[in-house]
Structure 1
Amino acid sequence: MSKLYSRLPRYIQSSQVAKNEKQPPVSETTRKFVPNFVMGSIETTTKDPSKIFATKVKDKVLLLDNPLKSSNEKKKRMLLKKKYKVMSAKEKKQTKIYEIPKECHKYELFIPLHELWLQYIEELYGKSNPIVFAQKLLRADFHGAILTVSKSKCASYVGVTGIVIQETENMFKLITKGDSLKCIPKGHSIFTFQLRDHMYILYGDQFRYRSASRVTKKFKNKPSIDL
């Protein structure tokens, strides 16, 4: 097997360790083994074997075999896949990841959230007029806003006022001053909130999108049908 290997580089040959060892003789046949093997494996009808060897093989480090990975490396890869696995909708529902525990159904806990929202909405308003600001509301975040249900097809929802603590595609979840969590559907409901000297109206049917989706969505002017 030693005849298959070429001579060592000069800096290794000049080392003390190399001098103490005898190097096996390398024949001319052995030195030409790789070029002859590569060029003999390439079809000469369509390609030039010598040119391919000179550009792609000569003086290049080539991986001749795909090394087998140890079981530990495979386990690490499996753990990484599990670590970054996204939960399905069914798993989220089973784990109740988005449900707010009953001990947190307290209005006072969310007053700081409302104060943060007031700062955010004031910055969003800026120097714009009420008409321009109304267009910005389509993409605004309402977590922390105090909304009032002014109209609804369900009479029990009318008059409910609270801080928005969660928004889904089809629902606003409000915490009232009586520490009660109310889940108000956006469909067939109209919400209002006051900012500065203006009262703004939100037609729930036009907000039936996730808050993250509303940021990038292009809205079209549509007539609003009163309930």
Structure 2
Amino acid sequence: MSNIYSQLPKYVTNSSEAKKERQPPMSETTKKFVPDFVTGTLEETVKDSAKVYASKLKDKVLLLDNPLKTSNEKKKRKHSKKKVRSMSAKEKRETKIYEIPNECHRYELFIPLNELWLQYIDELYGTSSPAVFAQKLLKADFHGAILTVSRSRCASYIGVTGINIHETENVFKLITKDNVLKVIPKGHSVFTFLLRDHMFTLYGDQFRFRSAARAAKKFKNKPTIDL
């Protein structure tokens, strides 16, 4: 019979427990089952099946599970691992996926978003001091924040206040109480917001990243850029 298992160590076979065990009787029919079965299976495709069995299978350790996959199965598995293709920037512009319809330019629609943001930013603040919290703001999400433009090179932007409903790499889109959507560039602009009786300042030039990229970015200390 083919040996498909490695031998036990001597300290196991010579132990008293092993000697007490009875070896199951093995008939001649059982001993010949494996070679007869293999050679009988190979006779249809191989002429000298007994010779093949003696050279490749007899007294060899065989792996009886996890058979090799066919080329078709490998291709299917490789194809299933492919990443789902996302929309390109051009496709997003063409489909206007981020554009908010004019009928939705209403301040009251985004008040619940502001309430959710207040809960989120209050949990982020936690028990830290304003100085420590200022470091956390670098990676915070500002969708829903009420921002005010305190300084800007463009005088018409100064004083604009609204809920930030969309942030891109270069702009904040604010919806004002007059139901007007204002697109404020981050560059050369300074924004403020109020939280827990503290006024926090955001320098737009230092926030010119996408919100997702900013959350994973490691910032370095840099001097404040004046307008």
CA-CA distance at 1:33 after TM superposition: 3.6
Partner of 1:54: 60
Between the aligned residues of both structures, percent identity stands at 64
Return the alpha-carbon distance in structure 2 between the equivalents of residues 147 and 94 of structure 1: 29
For residue 138 of structure 1, give the secondary structure of its aligned residue in structure 2.
helix
Partner of 1:94: 94
Residues 183 and 33 (structure 1), Cα distance of their counterparts in 2 relative to 1, 3 Å cut: same
User: Contact 2:110 / 2:144 at 8 angstroms: preserved in 1?
Assistant: yes
For residue 32 of structure 1, give the secondary structure of its aligned residue in structure 2.
helix
Return the alpha-carbon distance in structure 2 between the equivalents of residues 62 and 225 of structure 1: 63
Task: State the number of aligned residues.
Answer: 186
Give the TM-score normalised by structure 2. 0.69
Say yes or no: does 1:109 pair with 2:114.
no
Partner of 1:150: 150
| Structure 1 outlier segments of 4+, above 3 Å | 6-9, 33-36, 58-69, 80-83
Amino acid at match of 2:164: V
Partner of 2:24: none
Residues 7 and 146 (structure 1), Cα distance of their counterparts in 2 relative to 1, 3 Å cut: same
Return the alpha-carbon distance in structure 1 between the equivalents of residues 161 and 150 of structure 2: 9
Residues 81 and 96 (structure 1), Cα distance of their counterparts in 2 relative to 1, 3 Å cut: farther
Q: Deviations over 1:48-100 (max 9, x none)?
A: xx99x935xx575797994768xxx98xx98x799932111111111111111
Residue 29 of structure 1 is aligned with which of 48, 60, 77? 48
For residue 60 of structure 2, give the secondary structure of its aligned residue in structure 1.
helix
Give the TM-score normalised by structure 1. 0.69
Partner of 1:19: none
Residues 83 and 59 (structure 1), Cα distance of their counterparts in 2 relative to 1, 3 Å cut: closer
Return the alpha-carbon distance in structure 1 between the equivalents of residues 222 and 119 of structure 2: 30
For residue 221 of structure 2, give the secondary structure of its aligned residue in structure 1.
coil
Amino acid at match of 2:134: A
Amino acid at match of 2:135: Q
Return the alpha-carbon distance in structure 1 between the equivalents of residues 215 and 164 of structure 2: 18
Return the alpha-carbon distance in structure 2 between the equivalents of residues 89 and 202 of structure 1: 27
Considering only aligned residues, what root-mean-square deviation do their CA atoms show, in Å? 3.5
